[in-house]
Chain A
Amino acid sequence: MSGHLLSSIVFLPVLGALVILFIKDARAIRWVALVTLAVDFALAIPLMRGFDVSTHGMQFVERHEWIPSWNITYYLGVDGISVLFVFLTAFLGIICVLASWKAIEKKVKEFMIALLIMQAAMLGVFSALDMFLFYLFWEAMLIPMYLIIGVWGGPNRVYSAIKFFLYTLAGSILMLVGMIALYFAAGKTFDMLVLMEHKYTFTFQIWVFMAFFVAFAVKVPMFPFHTWLPDAHVEAPTAGSIILAGVLLKMGTYGFLRFCLTMFPDASRFFSTPIVVISIVAIIYGAFLALAQKDLKKLIAYSSISHMGFITMGIFLFNKNGIEGAILQMFNHGITTSALFLCIGLIYERTHTRHIGDYGWAASRVPVYATFLFIFTLASLGFPGTNGFIGEILIAFGAYEVYKPYLILLLIGIVGGAAYMLYMYKSMAFGADSHGHGGHGHGGSHDDSHGHKVWDVDFREAIALIALVVFVFWVGFHPEDFLGYMHESVGNLINQANTSKFEGLGL
């Protein structure tokens, strides 16, 4: 069992999808999907518990011959960085099914199959140690995600789906060329650990870095590659938004950590200042754009761009605080933003509007919902005691070590973040009910200003929200439980990133 733990985690969702293929009843399909992902998450727990935090080496390694003539192996393993994201992905899978329980009514079977296959591909990306396998999972994600946005999305879904698809495909296809160049440069191997050890010339590093950078920057998305994100988020169903914000965006920053810093350290250092600068641009620009939005999903989408700016900045600071903060913030953003999209999805199911001006009654009519929303709002803006605070403060420490004026710019971003999140919360919970409508309570449910029936959080929704809240405070009050996983791996990563790969042009 333990010998194939990672494979089981990665491929269990595929098994679930196969089972669903033969089920007709929508209710049964939902339950099978939920149970599959719950078991998958349960398998991730022994992965976390059995993980040895005292080493940076790859653990739970599985390796089998696959395509011997190209020296491609089926090679899985996790280190202190990727294990967190395997866990996060497995956890968010359950939230996705819960979020789609009622929201998805047509083609439930196809939706759950797409969701499960997506889940498998994402888990595969985080655990692949063979670059070919990595790319296979990476591109395989496009198909189910494209369908999730395009089939179950909002009114403008078709345009958004194709934009998402082409953007990410165009970005990553160049990475493929870079990967093959690496393969030959390092003596015909796709083994990522070997590729990390190999020395490359500076010019080679620069070119391949750029090929990889575009792929990852589109996924993150970094300014100015971000334009697909708001469209995709607005049109995607709630589960799609959760996957996008929670996991997909992390793939880009994970790519930076896994490939760019370790394989092309010299190129990464060469480009570090420009990348930090465009990260800061993303932080501030994203915050201002978020401030101007009237659509809830768009607001959170732009806030994601701002938050991801913190993460890319932390990564390219090249110090322990910056990188640990970035990784923790990747985890946090996965939790918090997913929670916010879930909240928006829940209220949208009731009112069928995402316009901020249509709300303003949340605190009085759906108090439990408003409380959850409040917690996630605070987490998102980085309030002390929540997970967001720990991540942002670590990145700020890292920035301080590198160049103090960065802090002032970061501050603008943080204040901006507080401004748009509080503005959103105020408008949703305490804003004037512009229609002057008086709701009559009957049976715990109310009508909103358009006559839709509005009820507070039900049991299924509460489970999902509480699970997310647990992580908000767990990371907020006891970050060491999570940081502990990454210390060794990050130490090793910084070591690799600061070692010049070629002679002559050292630090």
Chain B
Amino acid sequence: MSGPDVATFFSPGDFLAILPEMVIAGMACVILMVDLVVPRTKRWVVPALSVLSVAAAAWFSWNLAGSGVSAFSGMFVLDGYAAFFKLIFYIVAVFAVFVSIRYIKTEEIDLGEYYVLMLFSLSGMMIMASGSDLLTIYLGLELASLPVYALVGFLQKSRKSNEAAMKYVILGAFSSAILLYGISLIYGLTGTTQLAAISAALETGAVSGPLFTLAVIMLVAGFGFKVAGFPFHMWAPDAYEGAPTPITAFMAAGPKAAAFAVIMRVFLEGLFPAYDNWQMAIAAVAVGSMVVGNITAIMQTSIKRMLAFSSVGHAGYALLGLVAGSEEGIASVMFYLLVYAFMNLGIFGIIIMMRRDSQSGDQISHYAGLAKSNRLTALAMLVFLFSLAGIPPTAGFVAKFYVFMALIHKGMIGLAVVAALMSAVAAYYYIRIVMLMYMREPEKEFLLASSRGILCVLIIALAAVVALGVYPLTYKPRPARRSAVGQERNEMERWYP
């Protein structure tokens, strides 16, 4: 990593490194224009262009992956870690577009901005995954969040949607401010915003005391908000419920994974020397998220709210991998988020299919007797629910297993036991839906709004959930070392050639 040398700041290589991000952001602008000239009858051009841009970005990422380039004076890196997260984002974005096409017609919000905002958010997430400087990270975070605020409120005629957007934007701005304050404290204490330099400064042992603790708490709070961890999860149920369902799926899988990418990089690369300072704080957030998320989910009647609380619980599990702080822990979180993306998009795909004409699939009770008329849909939902509950042989089980491995390897048996018990609690509300689908009589005929896009998503997600459950992607865990993310690159190439 070179110093802040102005001469190298604008080298062409730097722009090559951010080519995928530029493609997405550039295409988002192009699509905005195209949307104006496309005739009503050819609306399919907009989503098609969106998917093509993601594909193009993915192709560039593929070729850049593993190059290990550090661009813009060390503010932006292209390691295997970032490449893996970008893979998750691409999958999430493409799936989100596929499940949206029919839905936004039903809801009469078929505007080009919908896809454009999604692409802007995607580019922000990609910058987050690659950011190795607190400022780049903050930039990416805001770029990823702002379009989502707008998307949550996209159902202009729905009061719930508007309210959700309002809450989300206020709380989001508040948490961003806290985060920024934390970043400024870190800068004040260490004199840098670069993660590697922060790590080096902390290494000397000169930085400690209540001010540093305050900075850590602010970072935990700021990031905790972004991943909807307890006690910063209050926005999640309202935002998830009010948002258009494809956006709920998108934000639960995409920006959340991006926030995890950032958290792990910041805490394990930048703040690793202060592991003892933040470990307890993160562990408390993780346990709180698992307990509160899962227990509150039991009481929900709206399926979207239930999944919101369940995602709080899942954030808790994933945070445990960070608490472990080992390479194994990082790998387990990465695997968890990949699996979660598939399960989540799968189940939301089905919820979206339930929305047709006057029928809405928002309430859990709407699923009663689904298995009677729609066997395959119910079977797919069963697999996703069992995977969310962590029952083998699904990928959800392997993901939890991986986290348990990381925890127990570090001797954190207590946390593993809490996580185990909470997954038994979680099983209750997932299985309750299976029960409704299979063991109750339907109240009326089901009309499913299936489309080729949704079916495609469902089939891929289903295949992934089963395949990753039977043959999980793993890498051989080496003994845990400090500052693990930086050294993860070679290991992760196996995941993402």
Contacts and interface: CB of A to CB of B under 8 A. Distances in A.
A169 B427 contact: yes
A140 B481 CA distance: 35
B474 A165 contact: no
B439 A165 contact: no
Contacts of A161: 435, 439
B432 interface: yes
Interface string A150-189: 1100000110011001100110011011001101100000
A139 interface: yes
Contact of A162 (B397, B423, B435, B475): B435
Interface string B420-453: 1101100110011011001100000000000000
A69 B404 contact: no
A135 interface: yes
Contacts of B405: 70, 180, 183
Contacts of A140: 391-393
Given A143-B391, A166-B427, A176 B438 contact: no
Question: DSSP majority for the A interface?
Answer: helix
B401 interface: yes
Interface in B164-211: none
Contacts of B471: 66-67
A183 B397 CA distance: 17
Contacts of B439: 150-151, 157-158, 161
A137 to B, nearest CB: 8
Contacts of B427: 165-166, 169
Contacts of A66: 471
A109 to B, nearest CB: 9
A69 B428 CA distance: 32
Contacts of A69: 474-477
B69 to A, nearest CB: 27
Interface in B397-420: 397, 401, 404-405, 408-409, 413, 416-417, 420
Contacts of B420: 173-174, 176-177
A142 interface: yes
Interface residues of B, number: 31
A389 interface: no
Please classify how large the interface on chain A is, using the bins under 10, 10 to 19, 20 to 34, 35 or more. Answer: 20 to 34
Contact of A173 (B408, B421, B472): B421
B435 A150 contact: yes
B250 interface: no
A6 to B, nearest CB: 18
Q: Which of A66, A142, A147, A169 has the most CB of B within 10 A?
A: A169
A68 B476 contact: yes
A18 to B, nearest CB: 14
Interface in B286-309: none
Contacts of B115: none
A255 B438 CA distance: 32
B424 A170 contact: yes
Nearest to B404: A180
Nearest to B431: A165
B386 A143 contact: yes
Nearest to A185: B408
A204 to B, nearest CB: 11
B408 A162 contact: no
B201 to A, nearest CB: 34
A135 B400 CA distance: 13
B327 to A, nearest CB: 12
Interface string A60-91: 00000011111000000000000000000000
Contacts of B435: 150, 158, 161-162
A166 B422 CA distance: 12
Question: DSSP majority for the B interface?
Answer: helix
Contacts of A70: 405, 474
A181 B413 contact: yes
Nearest to B402: A70
A146 interface: yes
Contact of B428 (A136, A158, A166, A184): A166
Given A142-B391, A161-B439, A170 B474 contact: no
Contacts of B432: 162
A305 B435 CA distance: 28
B213 to A, nearest CB: 32
A68 B471 CA distance: 11
Contacts of B475: 69
Contacts of B401: 176, 180
A140 B435 CA distance: 17
B147 to A, nearest CB: 38
A361 to B, nearest CB: 35
Contact of A174 (B417, B472, B477): B417
A328 B42 CA distance: 73
B392 A181 contact: no
Contact of B431 (A67, A146, A181): A146
B368 to A, nearest CB: 11
Contacts of A174: 417, 420-421
A166 B424 contact: yes
A270 B26 CA distance: 70
Given A69-B476, A177-B408, A139 B397 contact: yes
A162 B392 contact: no
Contacts of A180: 401, 404-405, 408, 416
Contacts of A142: 391
A177 B413 contact: yes
Interface string B304-321: 000000000000000000
Nearest to B401: A176
B392 A173 contact: no
A143 B435 CA distance: 11
Contacts of A169: 391, 424, 427
A177 B472 contact: no
A95 to B, nearest CB: 25
A373 B298 CA distance: 45
A174 B416 CA distance: 9
A181 B405 CA distance: 8
Interface in A16-75: 66-70
Nearest to A173: B420
30 contacts: A66-B471, A67-B471, A69-B477, A70-B405, A70-B474, A136-B392, A139-B391, A140-B392, A143-B391, A146-B434, A150-B435, A158-B435, A161-B435, A162-B432, A165-B427, A165-B431, A166-B424, A166-B427, A170-B421, A173-B421, A173-B423, A174-B417, A174-B421, A176-B401, A177-B408, A177-B420, A180-B401, A180-B408, A184-B408, A184-B409
Given A146-B434, A151-B439, A169-B427, 10 more contacts: A69-B474, A151-B438, A157-B439, A161-B435, A165-B427, A173-B420, A174-B421, A176-B401, A176-B404, A181-B408
In the A-B complex, the 3 residue pairs with the smallest Cβ-Cβ separation, listed nearest first, are: A69-B476, A170-B424, A69-B474
